[in-house]
Amino acid sequence: MVETRDGERFSCVMRGKKGGVACGDKVEFRITAPEQGVIEKILPRETLLYRSDAYKEKIIAANVTQIIVVVAAVPSFSEELINRCLVAAESQSIPVIIVLNKADLTEPTQAAIRILELYATLGYPVLKLSAINDISVLRPYLEDRVSVLAGQSGMGKSTILNALVPDAQRMTAEISTALDSGCHTTTHSRLYHINANSAVIDSPGIQAFGLNHIKVENLAWGFTEFHPYIGQCKFHNCRHLNEPGCALIYAAENGKISTRRLAFYHKLLEN
């Protein structure tokens, strides 16, 4: 679905191939019939958020200026998935905020906050809210940005979207009808306008976030607090596992970086 600057929407196909275009892409297209067209060209992207395994890549969104990682105390969230999202974001220099939804569930939320305190100390904003009650704490972070909601299924991304864009369910139904697909909101990534200067992209629930596209030697750069120590190891090709003279291991042993984060880095190396 392509939207023009004037707000018109066209159901489009790609010229010569079926794939390649992502939600958030800016394109050149040609109208072929009423409300239909063909995409002739994808314009250069400023950012591209995607995940990959050994066999394929899955594009999540293009040209986003912020990633909102949505978690909730119930159902329990994967801290490893948070770390994988952060590494993917750092590789594209995309700012991240973490939203803890369902904060009305008091006791589970307190336990979740204790886990997320680490990420707040690293400089990632951590917002606590209950999307069914009040979304106001999130709104200032969305202004003048194209944000993408990312996270596991069941975290409440759709509830957040509907609170931000009350017409989102109606718009989704209209788009699905135009595409003759009958899709649910979380089947494909879709962009919604919050106002003239701000937009949010709703993406499908992520159960696994592969980082096969990031070279092993670049993984450590995905951990922002590791940066001062990279290049300070005894051996220039140090993988920061158990090598003698490793600056990262020394920093973790002396409380300068989190042993939890170093353990997540080691797990990424193993995978």
Residue in the structure block whose two tokens are 């509830």? 159
Residue 121 is predicted with a pLDDT of 96
* 121 three-class SS: helix
DSSP state letters, 174-195: HHHHHHT----TTTS-EEEEEE
Residue 17 is predicted with a pLDDT of 65
Q: What is the CA radius of gyration of the chain?
A: 20
Please give the average pLDDT of every successive group of 10 residues along the chain, which has 271 residues: 93 80 94 94 92 77 95 90 92 95 91 96 96 94 96 88 82 50 56 94 80 86 95 93 94 96 92 73
DSSP state at residue 73: S
Nearest CA to 175 among 184, 166, 163, 164? 184
> How confident is the model over 140-187, as pLDDT tens digits?
999 999 999 998 888 989 899 999 998 876 454 454 455 543 334 445
DSSP state at residue 251: H
The pair of structure tokens assigned to 106 is 């008091």
Calpha distance 158→197 (Å, rounded): 21
Handedness of CA 89, 95, 100, 102 (dihedral sign): negative
Q: For residue 37, how many other CB atoms are within 10 A of its CB?
A: 18
> How confident is the model over 44-54, as pLDDT tens digits?
999 988 887 76
Instruction: Indicate the burial class of 117 (C-beta count within 10 angstroms; 0-12, 13-18, 19 or more).
Output: exposed
Calpha distance 218→119 (Å, rounded): 21
CATH numbers and ranges of domains, the chain: 2-42 (no CATH), 48-202 (3.40.50.300), 216-270 (1.10.40.50)
